[in-house]
């Protein structure tokens, strides 16, 4: 990472997410909640660069250019590195950690590696899990780091469970169709930017990584979640329920990526070919 890229353009970021508050809001729980709700509704989750064989750069200048100026999206490292920089610039006390993704895995499967970035913010009210980069199950509110209680967010119910290990670890769970479903597991072993560089290289180049050969994209909207896995588009409305459909053509894929997902598509000669290859 470029050590000189340490400044965040708060004005551009606030415009990008539609934040209409003061130019430099105080580092309070209300501010954290406001930013945490707006960020994943404005900046989508997506892995188009990986699908196109392009490097994912984690220096702050590159992340700002891509997610803010170019109105693209990104995956967890990009989202949470950007969000961390915003929070730290505002005066929040933020710590960085890594999670083991359990979402979509069999309960009996081997323990996965630490490939997800998450943050903890320390406020006067306590410590809060804040994570704006977990695809279709991204949180839309910070969660108090308290176990065993149901926590209601604008986009569903979550809870943190004690993983029953030493040192202490936590499992984030989401209430899905009436059942508590594991999202990821994390402990309080501090992570550094070099750790995210290594994990980023792994998930963006390892042949068996889900990101290398599949299209993943998602965005939140008021009362809704939109998700795309290859050609399967899903929309969940808290009132109308869920719908799923297969997108048959490149034109359909482009339209959904631009509209529901909200990506300004890159001008790449290989994009249509990459979309056409999706299973």
Give first-to-last CA distance, the chain, whole Å: 34
Note the pLDDT tens digit of each residue in 189-238.
999 999 999 999 999 999 999 999 999 999 999 999 999 999 999 999 98
pLDDT value at 244 more than 80: yes
Name the average pLDDT for the chain: 95
Catalytic residue among 39, 116, 155, 236: 116
Catalytic residue among 39, 131, 155, 236: 131
* Peptide bond connecting 167 to the previous residue in cis, omega within 30 degrees of 0: yes
Full set of structural domains in the chain with CATH: 10-276 (3.30.2140.20)
Note the pLDDT tens digit of each residue in 62-94.
999 999 999 999 999 999 999 999 999 999 999
Q: How confident is the model at residue 2 (pLDDT cuts 50, 70, 90)?
A: very low
Active site residue 116: yes
* Mean pLDDT value of segment 146-164: 96
Backbone angles phi, psi at 33, to 5 degrees: -60, -40
- Distance in angstroms (rounded) separating the CA atoms of residues 221 and 201: 30
pLDDT value at 57 more than 90: yes
pLDDT value at 1 more than 80: no
Q: How confident is the model at residue 6 (pLDDT cuts 50, 70, 90)?
A: low
* Mean pLDDT value of segment 32-45: 98
- Distance in angstroms (rounded) separating the CA atoms of residues 228 and 232: 6
The CA–CA distances, whole Å, from 50 to 54, 192, 210 equal 6, 23, 10
Chain-centre distance of CA 163, in angstroms?
A: 22
The pLDDT > 90 percentage for the chain reads 90
pLDDT value at 109 more than 90: no
CB 192 within 8 A of CB 204: no
- Distance in angstroms (rounded) separating the CA atoms of residues 12 and 68: 7
Active site residue 155: no
pLDDT value at 107 more than 80: no
Q: Which residues contact 110 (CB under 8 A, 6 or more apart)?
A: none
Catalytic residue among 39, 49, 76, 155: 76
Q: Please give the residue that has the higher pLDDT: either 177 or 26.
A: 26
């Amino acid at each position: 990472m470029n050590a000189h890229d340490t400044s965040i353009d708060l004005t551009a970021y606030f415009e990008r997410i539609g934040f209409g508050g003061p130019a430099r809001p105080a580092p309070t729980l209300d501010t954290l909640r406001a930013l945490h709700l707006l960020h994943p509704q404005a900046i989508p989750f997506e892995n188009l660069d990986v699908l196109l064989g392009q490097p994912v750069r984690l220096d702050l200048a590159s992340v700002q250019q891509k997610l803010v100026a170019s109105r693209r999206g990104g995956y967890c490292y990009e989202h949470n590195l950007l969000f961390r920089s915003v929070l730290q610039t505002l005066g929040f006390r933020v710590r960085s950690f890594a999670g083991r993704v359990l979402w979509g895995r069999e309960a009996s499967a081997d323990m996965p590696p630490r490939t997800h970035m998450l943050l903890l913010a320390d406020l006067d009210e306590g410590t809060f899990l804040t994570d704006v980069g977990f695809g279709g199950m991204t949180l839309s509110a910070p969660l108090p780091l308290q176990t065993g209680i149901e926590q209601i967010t604008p986009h569903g119910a979550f809870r943190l469970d004690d993983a029953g290990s030493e040192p202490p670890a936590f499992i984030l769970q989401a209430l899905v169709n009436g059942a508590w479903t594991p999202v990821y597991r994390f402990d309080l072993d501090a992570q550094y930017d070099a750790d995210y560089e290594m994990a980023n290289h792994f998930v963006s180049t390892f042949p068996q990584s889900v990101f290398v050969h599949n299209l993943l994209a998602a965005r939140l909207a008021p009362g809704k979640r939109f998700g795309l896995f290859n050609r399967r588009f899903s929309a969940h409305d808290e009132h109308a329920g869920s719908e799923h459909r297969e997108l048959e053509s490149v034109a359909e894929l482009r339209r959904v990526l631009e509209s529901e997902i909200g990506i300004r598509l890159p001008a790449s000669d290989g994009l249509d070919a990459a979309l056409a290859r999706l299973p």
